[in-house]
Amino acid sequence: MKENNLAGTKDPLIRVEDVSVQEIQLRQMRQILEECRGQRHLVVIQNYPDPDAISTGFAHRLIAGTFGIEVDIVYAGQISHPENIALVKLLDIELRKWENGFDLSPYQGCVFVDNQGTTSGPIVDAIQAKKIPELIVVDHHETQDRLNPKFKDIRKVGATATIYASYFEEGLVKLEKSKKEHVMVATALMHGIKTDTVGFVTAMPEDFQAAAFLSRFIDSDLLEQITSQARSKQTMEVIQKSLANRVNKEGYSIAGIGYLRCEDRDAIPQAADFLLTEENVHTAIVFGVISTNDGEGEFLTGSMRTSKITVDPDEFLKEVFGKDPSGRHFGGGKKTAGGFEIPIGFLSGGEDSEFREMKWKVYNAQILQKIMKKIGVKREDKKPEISSPTG
């Protein structure tokens, strides 16, 4: 990659109250887009895109378009949360699903929003194998080192949508209420901020400021339609399972829910949100095993939610689950939420229900044991019974 001539990109973590640093970030974003005029870019969002990811991909496309840059938004994984399906459908947001053999040849660069490549799995590997330039990263999670972009804007705010709203507010593209696409982008970003801050409960001043700015452009009927989607039956079943299986210790509520379908991945954070509503619970962790669609691969995946200020999900999950052989953490997060994903590898697959049951017992016990150790609780409840192969 050619040496970039943008000043200051070496130290991208900016203090949000420092307006002049924000201005520099904006100038650099404008400059890099200007340099890429006429190109086609891939915007990569996380595997199980949430409203913050979807809306900022959408916003980036609008901005890039004004620089004559064509953009495709891509994700691996699934969109299954009914609100997310409603967001994509009602706002007519075009997303491309990653699949084996995805043609990367049309793209001269890639952009990462609301992630830094650690939650967009196979796409990053393919992009790096093809040496497609990593141009831009805009995110609000803890800084990660998976990518080496020309420009990054990582701010400690409630949502990536807040950062994009500030680009609009500062005039990177002037939003106009009379333009339908502008109204849709503003509505999507508002939904992104709202969900990433748990309905503004964990919002920071920057998030409120962004929401106040966006409120002048949104379609509130549309926003209401997006947010009033009911929970699916599958999600209700996952929540029910997490309630039945939960172990409550020292304010932590931990639930293993067994196997679930790839399409129901989004039910896990919803179940964690639900467990957090129980009296005396400040932190909820829900996990299960998901099989990939070809039925061959399996991975353990989970979500963590906390309302306790002294619990840092990023630090917590990194410490509990550690790193894979290549040095990447299995989990991470931000101020109130986090997630983890652990490939099962050689033990993946197998139709035999007894074998699956046996595997689940081992995984469940291992995860519980690691979490209990971290929170300093000895497990006095019984060990899982695993029958030996001979009887």
Per CB under 5 A, residues contacting Mn ion are 52, 114, 160, 196
Nearer to Mn ion, 12 or 51 (CB): 51
If the CB atoms of residues 46 and 291 are measured against Mn ion, the closer one turns out to be: 46
CB of 116 to Mn ion, least distance (A): 11
Cβ of residue 309: shortest distance to Mn ion, in angstroms? 19
Tokens found for residue 43: 């915007």
Q: Give the residue at shortest CB distance from Mn ion.
A: 52
Closer Cβ to Mn ion, 139 or 298, answer by number = 139
Q: How far is the CB of 56 from Mn ion (least distance, A)?
A: 8
Q: Report the alpha-carbon distance of residue 99 to residue 121 in Å, rounded.
A: 12
d(CA 110, CA 248): 43
Nearer to Mn ion, 27 or 156 (CB): 156
Residue 119 backbone phi and psi in degrees, to 5: -115, 15
Residue 322, amino acid: G
3-state secondary structure at position 311? coil
No. of H helices and E strands in the chain? 12, 12
Q: DSSP label at 231?
A: P
- 114 vs 219, which CB is nearer to Mn ion? 114
Which residue, 51 or 133, is less far from Mn ion as judged by CB?
51
CB of 115 to Mn ion, least distance (A): 8
Alpha-carbon distances of 11 from 113, 151, 167, 344, 366, rounded to whole Å: 18, 10, 19, 36, 39
| C-alpha atoms less than 13 angstroms from C-alpha of 323 in its C-beta half-sphere | 4
Beta strand residue intervals within 134-218, DSSP E? 134-139, 151-154
Q: Are strands 70-75 and 96-97 parallel, antiparallel or unpaired?
A: parallel
Smallest separation, CB 196 to Mn ion (Å): 4
Pure H helices in the chain = 19-35, 51-65, 82-90, 121-129, 160-169, 180-196, 205-214, 220-227, 233-245, 267-275, 313-321, 353-375
CB of 357 to Mn ion, least distance (A): 36
Nearer to Mn ion, 196 or 264 (CB): 196
CB of 360 to Mn ion, least distance (A): 30
